[in-house]
Amino acid sequence: MIWWLRSRAAAVLIVSTLLTALASLVIGNVELPIPVLAGQAGKFLLADLITVLPAVLWINGTGRATTSTEITAVRPVHRWDTALAIGLATAALAITGLAHVLGFTGIAVAVGRNTAVYLGIALLLNPIVGHRITAPLTAVFPLVCAAAGWRAGGGAEPWALILHRPNSGPALAAGAALLAAGCALSYVKPPATGPVRFRRG
């Protein structure tokens, strides 16, 4: 257990997640100038971007060890990694939920939701394409949303969950569903080790 905590830098990851959530609550309302490729320009907040940090750090932590070696290990390491991601999402949601109840900021729910969305994406992609590809794909998602996630008539596209209003119930439910789906896949399937190789007949 100790070797796993050290290899994942779990303490740093937990602290970074908490600091990211707190920073998003404080300065997350700052708008970023992002070019829009399609539709109509909308608000792209700093909280929509920096909340990707916990997911990217989680991917980096889980990719530190040799995946092929861990797959053959007796202990289900990938399940521990899934539990770590759930813990990070829960911590972020708890902090932002408390901030929302206390009326600290209007974007509190969006901060927790976006953190869960990014972790859900990372959990879904990691077993399929591996951590080397998952990290850049997860990191580029907010930029894709900012550039192409707005509708021509206003409002965000359904798939651009991080752009939806903070008080959007459907977006929060979709984010939770994405996280749950990612956890389920990551729990049963270890991270991909690379491209699929076909045997010669």
Gap between the Cα atoms of 60 and 122, Å rounded: 11
DSSP 54-103: HHHHHHHHHTSS-HHHHHTSSS-HHHHHHHHHHHHHHHHHHHHHHHHHTT
CA–CA–CA angle 17, 18, 23 (5° rounding): 100
Quote the DSSP letter at residue 156.
Answer: B
C-alpha torsion 65→128→24→29, nearest 10? 150
Higher pLDDT, 19 or 75: 19
* DSSP letters for 102-128: TT--TTHHHHHHHHHHHHHHHHHHHHH
Report pLDDT for 69.
Answer: 54
Summarised one tens digit per residue, pLDDT across range 3-18 is 666 767 788 889 999 9
pLDDT at 149: 87
Each residue of 153-199: pLDDT tens digit?
A: 778 899 999 999 998 999 999 999 999 999 999 999 888 775 443 34
Segment (H or E) for 44: none
- Amino acid at position 193, single letter: T
Model confidence, pTM: 0.87
The Cα–Cα gap between 75 and 8 comes to 15
pLDDT band at 74 (very low <50, low <70, confident <90, very high): low
Residues 76 and 42: their CA atoms lie apart, in Å, by 44
| Res 154: pLDDT | 75
Q: pLDDT tens digits for 115-148? A: 999 999 999 999 999 888 999 999 999 989 988 8
d(CA 163, CA 175): 12
pLDDT score at 197: 38
36 or 138: which leads in pLDDT: 138
